[in-house]
Chains A and B, each alone.
Chain A
Amino acid sequence: MNYETVIGLEVHAELKTKTKIYCGCSTEFGGEVNTHTCPICVGFPGVLPVLNKQVVEYAIKAGLATNCNITPVGKQDRKNYFYPDLPKAYQTSQYDLPICVGGYVEIETEDGPKKIRLTRIHIEEDAGKLLHDFGEGTLVDYNRGGVPLIEIVSEPDLRSSQEAHTFLEQLKAILEYTDVSDCKMQEGSLRCDVNVSVRPEGATEFGIRTEMKNVNSFRAAVRAIEYESKRQIAVLENGDEVTQETRRWDEASGKSVPMRSKEDAQDYRYFPEPDLVNIVIDDEWVARVRETLPELPQARIKRYIADLGLTDYDAGLIASNKKLAVLFEETVALGAKPKAVSNWILGDVSRILNERDIELDESKLTPQALASLIELIEKGTISNNAGKKVLPDIFDGCDDVTKLVEEKGLVQISDDSALMEIVTQVLADNEKSVNDYKGGNERAIGFLVGQCMKASKGKGNPQKFNELLKQNLG
């Protein structure tokens, strides 16, 4: 039997606020353990929360960017469960009146565009971090506790790991463009829970689903979906029923396992948070946030194709990454040809980023430098290869590309008389090859060009040498 995989995602994105959701402690990543805490975020007796307004602003913005309706009167609720990373033993979240409801994200699939519906986006607080590598026990760091999150819940509209991946990329791009989240997967600022079920192709009812937690990268999401789908199909093929449960994705072993700690955690005893008042968002507030929305990825893709002549593929790749898109647009704005900029960004720039395993903003590459590099190549001042050679230096912060290529001796000799001198000398020194060429061996010209390049110490323009040699051998 053929099966269809049905996937819904719950994406948690840490918001880019300076301070936590209910207190003034820093949200900065990477601080010494338990140095970004206070009695409020560690839930000392008697403390009370006060909501960071920026959290609501960001949630509205994310909602508008994903075509959601904004809830006029929202409230916050307590989700009660015991776990050491949750200092108050409840997580302040939103239960039945989230800030945003009912949006969608459009993704490109093999069958054309597809709308993935969003159930809701709500605000909540992040939990602390458990550290397990210290002997027998577990250590708790509350620096992350109380960092604001939005949870974006999709409908079960995704049908393959590839669709899920595209959706996640698209969502990440939206969150980056709207500037509501850093989306740094490696710092855990974007995480997702994956709901997977399978059903026989053509069935209308959904199968029993499992929820997978601890999915910390898009790659992990793809693997987890593929693993879980296969596992569930095997269960069904075996004549058994899938158990509805929460499972933990283990990236190292590439498997999911049932989570013990969640066995009895289904009864969260949600109730309205009495320490926090209603969030009333009127039309004026929504309009004000709407005005701050930037151009979103879908619109950018269309513009790159229509106005800048990029291919669908290239436009998609650049537009789905805010940092690349910004570099692209700023470089083009400096006069570089879009196609050339796109080639550089998707080629060598991306390659170096990958090799160094860094994000664009961690490099010192500027649009100015990239534009002048492209200009130097266009003018023939340096070769394309020379351009590739200096790119790492530009990444490291070298601004003056013209000076750089001069210092490195990469400027091509384009002056005909200087080149002619070399050609004359090479012809004189390589009589055998000259004769071979004249005897009909066209390949001998390659050797001669090579000799010219060698004599010019690589600074000659090989194209020019080729022309001049041919003229002289005429």
Chain B
Amino acid sequence: MEINIEYIANLARLDNPSTTEEANKLRKDMTEIIGMVDKMSEVDTTGVEPTNHAAPMQNVFRKDELKPSFARDEMLANAPESVAGCYSVPSAVEDA
């Protein structure tokens, strides 16, 4: 099966491998792993409910009760870049 590495890498926000060698290795690894997991298709699972949680639980809620927020400085202490109490990123403006 041909895996569209470029498409997947973009979805995952990873750079495409910069060298052909790396690209080939990644493609080979991915193909091998996918080949391994494709084995699942041998088992008929028609009508089987998927298990989304390891523990069968339901209705876990919290009350709508206010808790103190964290100090802004504490939150921003790990930010690679902060300006005026905000996290700062390159422009995300949509061109109008």
The answer to whether A and B assemble together is yes
What is the chain A residue whose CB lies nearest that of B50?
Answer: A272
Partner of B66, one of A18, A32, A83, A138: A18
Chain A contributes a number of interface residues (CB within 8 A of B) equal to: 57
**B72 interface hit (Cβ, 8 Å):** yes
The prevalent SS among residues of B at the interface is loop
Of residues 71 to 88 in A, which have CB atoms within 8 Å of B's CB atoms? 73, 75, 82-85
Q: How far is the CA of A130 from the CA of B13 in the complex (A)?
A: 20
Partner of B83, one of A53, A73, A134: A134
Asked if A51 meets B60 with Cβ closer than 8 Å, knowing A19-B67, A38-B70, the reply is yes
The reply to whether B60 and A140 contact each other, CB–CB distance below 8 Å, is: no
What is the chain B residue whose CB lies nearest that of A73?
Answer: B58
Asked if A138 meets B93 with Cβ closer than 8 Å, knowing A18-B66, A56-B61, A278-B59, the reply is yes
The reply to whether A261 and B69 contact each other, CB–CB distance below 8 Å, is: no
The reply to whether B92 and A130 contact each other, CB–CB distance below 8 Å, is: yes
Taking CB atoms, residues of chain B closer than 8 Å to A75 are: 52
Taking CB atoms, residues of chain B closer than 8 Å to A56 are: 61
The reply to whether B65 and A18 contact each other, CB–CB distance below 8 Å, is: yes
The reply to whether A37 and B69 contact each other, CB–CB distance below 8 Å, is: yes
The reply to whether B96 and A253 contact each other, CB–CB distance below 8 Å, is: yes
The reply to whether A131 and B62 contact each other, CB–CB distance below 8 Å, is: no
The prevalent SS among residues of A at the interface is loop
Taking CB atoms, residues of chain B closer than 8 Å to A141 are: 85-86
Chain B contributes a number of interface residues (CB within 8 A of A) equal to: 37
What is the chain A residue whose CB lies nearest that of B13?
Answer: A82
The reply to whether B65 and A19 contact each other, CB–CB distance below 8 Å, is: yes
Q: Digit string of A44-79 for contact with B (CB within 8 Å is 1, else 0)?
A: 000000111110100000000000000001010000
Asked if A33 meets B84 with Cβ closer than 8 Å, knowing A53-B61, A274-B52, A280-B59, the reply is yes
**B10 interface hit (Cβ, 8 Å):** yes
The reply to whether B65 and A277 contact each other, CB–CB distance below 8 Å, is: no
Asked if A50 meets B61 with Cβ closer than 8 Å, knowing A84-B89, A264-B10, A274-B53, the reply is yes
Taking CB atoms, residues of chain B closer than 8 Å to A17 are: 64
Asked if A53 meets B63 with Cβ closer than 8 Å, knowing A39-B70, A257-B96, A278-B58, the reply is yes
Asked if A52 meets B87 with Cβ closer than 8 Å, knowing A75-B52, A260-B94, the reply is no
What is the chain B residue whose CB lies nearest that of A214?
Answer: B94
**A248 interface hit (Cβ, 8 Å):** yes
The reply to whether B11 and A36 contact each other, CB–CB distance below 8 Å, is: no
The reply to whether B88 and A140 contact each other, CB–CB distance below 8 Å, is: yes
Asked if A261 meets B91 with Cβ closer than 8 Å, knowing A33-B85, A34-B85, the reply is no
What is the chain A residue whose CB lies nearest that of B10?
Answer: A264
Q: What is the CB-to-nearest-CB distance from B9 to chain A, in angstroms, rounded to a whole number?
A: 12
Taking CB atoms, residues of chain B closer than 8 Å to A278 are: 53, 57-59
* Chain B interfacial positions (CB closer than 8 Å to A): 10-11, 13, 50, 52-53, 57-70, 72, 75-76, 83-96
Interface pairs A-B: 9 shortest CB-CB: A24-B67, A139-B86, A53-B61, A54-B64, A272-B52, A140-B87, A138-B92, A277-B57, A50-B62
CB pairs A–B below 8 angstroms (5 shown): A52-B63, A56-B61, A75-B52, A137-B90, A139-B84
